[in-house]
Amino acid sequence: MEFLSDIASLINSTLRISTPLVFAAMAGIFAERSGVIDFSLEGKMLMAAFVAAVGSYYLGNPWLGLLLAIIVCVCLSMLHGFASVTHKGDQVVSCVAINILIIGLTTALAAAWFGQAGLTPTLNEDQRFLEIHLPFADALRDIPVIGTLYSDILSGHYVFVYLAYLSVPLVFWIVFKTSFGLRLRAVGENPSAVDTAGINVFTMRYKALAINGVLIAFAGAHLSTAVNANFFREMSAGRGYLALAAMIFGKWHPKTALIACLLFGFTDALQIRLQGVELPAIGEIPVQLIQALPYILTVVLLAGFVGKAIAPNAIGQPYIKER
Partner 1 sequence: MSNLVVDKSKVPWWVSNVIVPLVNLTLALLVSGLFIFIAGENPIEAVKLIIYGSFGYIQGFAYTLYYTTNFIFTGLAFAVAFHCRLFNIGGEGQAYIGGLGVFLVAINLSFLPIPIVWLLSICGAFLFGAAWAYIPAYLQSKRGSHVVITTIMFNFIASSLMIFLLVDVIRDTNQMAPHTVKLPEEIWLPSFEAFSGILGIKIRYSPLNLTFLLAIASLFFVWFLVWKTKWGYEMRAVGHNTQAAIYAGISPHKNIIIAMCISGGLAGLLGVNEILGVSHKIQAGFPAGYGFTGIAVALMGRNHPIGILPAAFLFGILYQGGSEVTFEMPNITRYMFVAVQGLIILFSGALENLFRPQIESFFVRRLNREVNA
Rounded to a whole number of angstroms, the minimum distance from the CB of residue 101 to partner 1 is: 3
1/299 with CB nearer partner 1: 299
32/249 Cα distance (integer angstroms): 13
> Any alpha helices (H) in the chain, and if so which ranges?
2-33, 41-59, 62-81, 91-114, 137-140, 146-147, 159-177, 179-189, 191-196, 201-222, 239-249, 254-274, 287-291, 293-302
5/313 with CB nearer partner 1: 313
Rounded to a whole number of angstroms, the minimum distance from the CB of residue 247 to partner 1 is: 11
43/62 with CB nearer partner 1: 43
150/156 Cα distance (integer angstroms): 10
Rounded to a whole number of angstroms, the minimum distance from the CB of residue 300 to partner 1 is: 10
Q: What is the dihedral of CA 291, 292, 298, 304, to 10 degrees?
A: -130
Rounded to a whole number of angstroms, the minimum distance from the CB of residue 214 to partner 1 is: 22
Beta strands, E only, the chain: 278-279, 283-284
- CA distance readout (Å), 135 to 140, 141, 151, 156: 9, 11, 9, 10
7/320 with CB nearer partner 1: 320
Residues in Cβ contact with 133 at an 8 Å cutoff, skipping those fewer than 6 apart: 155, 156
User: Using an 8 Å Cβ cutoff, are 258 and 22 in contact?
Assistant: yes
Give the chain's length: 323
**Three-class secondary structure of residue 284 per DSSP:** strand
187/245 with CB nearer partner 1: 245
Rounded to a whole number of angstroms, the minimum distance from the CB of residue 136 to partner 1 is: 43
138/284 with CB nearer partner 1: 284
Contact residues toward partner 1 (CB under 8 A) are: 39, 82-84, 87-94, 96-105, 107-109, 111-113, 116, 118, 233, 238, 241, 244-245, 248, 286, 288-289, 291-292, 295-296, 298-299, 302-304, 308-309, 323
Residues in Cβ contact with 68 at an 8 Å cutoff, skipping those fewer than 6 apart: 51, 52, 55, 59
111/154 with CB nearer partner 1: 111
